[in-house]
Amino acid sequence: MIIAVTGTPGVGKTTVSKLLSKRLGYEYVGVKEFAVERDIGEKVGDEIEIDIDELAEKMVEEFKGKNVVIDGHLSHFVPSDLVVVLRVHPRLVAERLKDRGYSRKKLAENVEAELIDVILVEALEENERVIEVDTTGKTPEEVVDEIIGLIERGVKKRVGIVDWSEAYDEVLPYLNLGGE
């Protein structure tokens, strides 16, 4: 089974994906490493701008019929058996990305994306089976337990479990309203 773990940067994808793959005995694959190794996309400075169609094609080619956890904020573009969308309170996205040294602009973009469900909406457009997990206040182990529980119960879709509209005022200072 191909499980894609997606979400806004800083939400905890890598932490959860590595633990989940270990618990299930699945292979772990990071989208970025995969794309860099296979030269999928264009290099823009230190970053790689991943070609999504090529990524999806190459990943299916390589992992079809295998048990794999794919980690990355583009993983929901890969045809998968299950997409897990991790969510976290936007304040935590801001704090974690600030610690990572993100620019103000990038920080604002990602806080806003979490606030308005950007990745969830994309995931729902791309895949049938989407489950959303709120990681706020949970340890990575608890998040993985919840994912495994949902898989074991055969849950096909579980979305709409968070609403960050109440968080808007709190994260307003991080947003880049009307600015460049």
Could you list the residues that contact ligand DAT (CB under 6 A)? 7, 9-15, 96, 135, 138-140, 143
> Cα(18)–Cα(163) distance, rounded to whole angstroms?
27
Residue 88 near residue 13, CB atoms below 8 Å: no
CB of 134 to ligand DAT, least distance (A): 10
CB of 65 to ligand DAT, least distance (A): 26
Comparing CB distances to ligand DAT, the nearer of 36 and 57 is: 36
Comparing CB distances to ligand DAT, the nearer of 54 and 134 is: 134
HSE-up (13 A, CA, CB side) for residue 68: 21
- CA diameter of the chain: 47
CB of 96 to ligand DAT, least distance (A): 5
Enumerate residues 6+ apart whose C-beta is below 8 A from 37: none
Comparing CB distances to ligand DAT, the nearer of 88 and 124 is: 88
Task: State which residue has the least CB distance to ligand DAT.
Answer: 12
48 is written with which tokens?
């790689």
Comparing CB distances to ligand DAT, the nearer of 122 and 156 is: 122
CB of 178 to ligand DAT, least distance (A): 27
Residue among 4, 169, 9, 2 at smallest CA distance from 98? 9
